[in-house]
Amino acid sequence: MVSVATRAAIDAEIAKMPEKRGALLAALRLVQAEYGYLPPEVMEEVAQIFGLHPTEVFEVVSFYNHFHVQPRGRHEVNVCTSLTCSLRGGRGLLRQLQAYLGVRAGQTTEDGRISLGHEECLGACGNAPMLRIDDTYHLDLDWVRTQQLLDGLE
């Protein structure tokens, strides 16, 4: 069951929209923040809140990159691999990260510390290459700086 606080936050999001379903993405984000991912029974609970069939919730979850149906690492590290970042070494950075962490993009380290990934343009092309750790952008990177950032993660 989602917590009382999360349920209250979902209701507040629903109140902002002309139709209940307009708050579905916000609700999924809130629930994912509580559980770390979206377990099937939680998606079913969200479906109940919104008066939807669970399948309707699953298809929305599967459409968007930020929703996860498997447990994730404590931190999301996503390297931008769009054209500008690639021109300035973004894909080299991802290769080094994969070797350093011993996982491929799309995987989580064994200690559950980091889920590594790559993303399309994050809108920081003036500071390429760059990556995103959770909600924070890190710009104008080289390997030394990237390693420091990784080592600083709990």
Cβ 119 to other proteins shortest distance, Å? 7
Closest to 29 in 3D by CA, of 37, 21, 20, 39: 37
Q: What does the alpha-carbon distance between residue 83 and residue 128 come to, in Å, rounded to a whole number?
A: 10
Min CB(83)–other proteins separation in Å = 5
- Which residues of the chain form contacts with other proteins (CB under 8 A)? 16-19, 21-26, 28-29, 50, 59-60, 63-67, 81-84, 86-89, 91-92, 95, 119-128, 132, 135-137
Nearer to other proteins, 115 or 151 (CB): 115
CB of 62 to other proteins, least distance (A): 8
Smaller CB separation from other proteins, 45 or 119: 119
Name the minimum Å distance from CB 40 to other proteins: 18
Q: In what order do the strands lie in the sheet with 114-119?
A: 114-119, 75-80, 131-133, 136-138
Hey, what long-range contacts does 66-69 have (CB within 8 A, 24 or more apart)? Answer: 66/29, 66/32, 67/28, 67/32, 67/38, 68/32, 68/37, 68/38, 69/37, 69/38, 69/39, 69/40, 69/43
Cβ proximity to other proteins: between 11 and 59 the closer is 59
Which residues partner with 79 through β-bridges?
118, 131
C-alpha to C-alpha distance for 109 and 40, rounded to whole angstroms: 23
Q: Based on CB atoms, which residue is closest to other proteins, 52 or 114?
A: 52
Which residue's CB is nearer to other proteins, number 84 or number 147?
84
Pairing type for strands 114-119 and 75-80 reads parallel
Nearest distance in Å: CB 76, other proteins: 11
